[in-house]
């Protein structure tokens, strides 16, 4: 695949990844089209050497894995994990509000949102809806992506905020971030409209809808920007860029003949990973052990195998910003298109250890894949990733890595095109030891 095709494929994945559910769905569909077979965690498995498998966990976590053709008990695991959620807004129950003749929506903030970047944009809604069923313990679950722009969070006119000068408005999450869905003056609607809209979209009666997990998303497409189109401006680069790289890595599967390789998408990274679908879940060690048992090995073999395993926590990094250059470390200043970042923090908010880094550097050097080091300025609090959380649950050598971004957690983010490609190449090399 050439660079143009790879960029186009990444943009396609971004456009499909409108909720954590849809990120997982797109990942599953692409790998199913590449020969991965779906398994259910509740079933007994008969795994084959040379097999390619995918396991969904509660809709927003997914584990794709391959078993080497010459797999042996001591081979262990090569794991790479990204997250499919993104900062934004979740729609509350009983969401309809009416104010001054407008229909507005009651939402809560999800994750660390750059609030002002969501203003004045056409927005849509995606996620999952639970419907009545004949079997009370198994409601009918439907994914929904409204696709159309159906709401806007409007800014105040600057004229009404003169006291703030050029600083702009201070935004209250409850008061100022409610999206406007319509004007009653034209529609004549009286409220309680959002669930009716959902029901119409799904072709069911409103009474059938029991509950939902819905987020607001930016439906704008990504685009190439820059004098040589070397940058990408797009919503949800955090962390779809990493999901894409892992997916491309898994697609290179047939080359390998040893080990188990696993490409993971977790949920809830933006709110701390502490959930059944998040990196703090015990599902990963359970799943890895189940793979060993299904291949005819014992628990003791699995416990030995994890000692020689490796985990890549793949998530975006802070690229050095030309307009905020004082905010960065003096000697580790990653730039866009300078290669993906290896992230380090002594307090283990990034889980990197020097053994894992040494492995990754040798892999990149052998394949001429560029990389940079990313460390926070000592007086700046750092963000965290799922790496340290997952490595506490599964104690294996771990590295935190990902492409550098500008405007992280804005409604659109900015990345370097070359970095996305080099991260995808790195994932192929990591999983299947391909010398490119």
For every residue of 299-340, DSSP letters joined together read: HHHHHHHGGG-EEEEE--EEPPPTTSGGGS-SS----TTS-E
* Nearest CA-CA partner of 351 in 394, 396, 387: 387
**Per-residue contact flags (x/-) with Zn ion for residues 297 to 316, judged by CB under 5 A:** ------------------x-
Tell me how far apart the alpha carbons of residues 410 and 308 are, in angstroms, rounded to a whole number.
38
Shortest separation between residue 238's beta carbon and Zn ion, angstroms: 4
User: Please, what is the minimum distance in Å from the beta carbon of residue 317 to Zn ion?
Assistant: 9
Here's the x/- map for Zn ion, 182-221, by CB under 5 A: it reads as ----------------------------------------
Specify the residue, 253 or 264, whose C-beta has the smaller distance to Zn ion. 264
Structure tokens at 283: 């599902």
Please say which residue, 238 or 419, places its beta carbon nearer to Zn ion. Answer: 238
Nearer to Zn ion, 76 or 222 (CB): 222
Asked if residue 418 binds Zn ion (CB under 5 A), the reply is: no
Instruction: Please answer whether residues 294 and 55 qualify as being in contact, where contact means their C-beta atoms are separated by less than 8 angstroms.
Output: no
* Among positions 239, 248, 267, 419, the unique one binding Zn ion when judged by CB under 5 A: 239
Residue 64 pairs in a beta bridge with: 54, 263
Nearer to Zn ion, 264 or 295 (CB): 264
Closest distance between Zn ion and the C-beta of residue 316, in Å?
5
Sign of CA dihedral 266, 242, 432, 5: positive
- Is there binding between residue 238 and Zn ion (CB under 5 A)? yes
The footprint of Zn ion on this chain (CB under 5 A) covers a number of residues equal to 3
Residue of 209, 217, 201, 2 whose CA lies nearest to 94: 209
For Zn ion, the binding residues in 313-332 under the rule CB under 5 A are: 315
Which segment (1-9, 223-231, 237-245, 411-419) binds Zn ion by CB under 5 A?
237-245
**Distance between CA atoms of 82 and 241, rounded to whole angstroms?**
9
Report d(CA 95, CA 64) in Å as an integer. Answer: 36
> CB 222 → Zn ion: shortest distance, Å?
17
Q: How far is the CB of 267 from Zn ion (least distance, A)?
A: 12
Instruction: Give me 186's structure tokens.
Output: 């034209």
Residues that bind Zn ion (CB under 5 A): 238-239, 315
């Amino acid at each position: 695949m050439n660079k143009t095709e790879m960029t186009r494929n990444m943009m396609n994945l971004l456009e499909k990844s409108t909720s954590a559910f849809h990120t997982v769905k797109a990942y599953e569909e692409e790998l199913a089209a590449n020969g991965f077979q779906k398994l259910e965690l509740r079933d007994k498995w008969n795994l084959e050497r040379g097999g390619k498998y995918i396991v969904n966990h509660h809709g927003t976590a997914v584990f794709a894995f391959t078993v080497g053709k010459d797999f042996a008990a001591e081979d262990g695991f090569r794991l790479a994990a990204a997250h499919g959620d993104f900062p934004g807004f979740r729609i509350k129950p009983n969401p309809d509000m009416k104010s001054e003749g407008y229909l507005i929506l009651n939402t809560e903030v999800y994750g660390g949102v750059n609030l002002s970047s969501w203003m004045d944009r056409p927005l849509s809604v995606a996620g999952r809806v639970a419907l009545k069923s004949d079997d009370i313990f198994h409601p009918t679950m439907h994914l929904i992506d409204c696709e159309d722009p159906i709401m806007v969070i409007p800014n105040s006119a600057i004229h009404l905020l003169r006291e703030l000068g050029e600083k702009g408005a201070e935004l209250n999450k409850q008061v100022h971030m409610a999206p406007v869905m319509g004007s009653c003056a034209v529609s004549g609607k009286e409220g309680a409209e959002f669930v009716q809209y959902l029901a119409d979209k799904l072709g069911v009666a409103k009474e059938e809808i029991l509950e939902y997990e819905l987020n607001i998303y930016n439906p704008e497409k990504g685009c190439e920007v820059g004098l040589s189109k070397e940058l990408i401006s797009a919503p949800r680069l955090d962390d779809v860029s990493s999901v894409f790289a892992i997916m491309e890595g898994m697609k290179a599967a047939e080359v390998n003949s040893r080990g188990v390789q696993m490409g993971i998408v977790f949920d809830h990274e933006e709110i701390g990973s502490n959930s059944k679908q998040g990196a703090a879940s015990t599902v990963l060690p359970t799943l890895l052990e189940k793979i060993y048992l299904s291949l005819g090995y014992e628990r003791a073999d699995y416990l030995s195998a994890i000692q020689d395993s490796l985990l890549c926590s793949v998530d975006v990094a802070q690229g050095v910003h030309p307009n905020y250059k004082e905010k960065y470390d003096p000697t580790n200043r990653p730039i866009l298109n300078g290669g993906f970042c290896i992230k380090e923090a002594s307090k283990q908010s990034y889980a990197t250890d020097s053994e894992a880094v040494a492995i990754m550097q040798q892999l990149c050097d052998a394949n001429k894949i560029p990389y940079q080091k990313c460390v926070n300025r000592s007086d700046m609090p750092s963000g965290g990733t799922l790496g340290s959380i997952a490595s506490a649950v599964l104690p294996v050598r771990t590295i935190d890595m990902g492409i550098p971004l500008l405007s992280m957690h804005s409604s659109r983010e900015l990345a370097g095109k070359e970095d996305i490609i080099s991260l995808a190449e790195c994932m192929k090399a990591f999983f299947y030891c391909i010398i490119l």
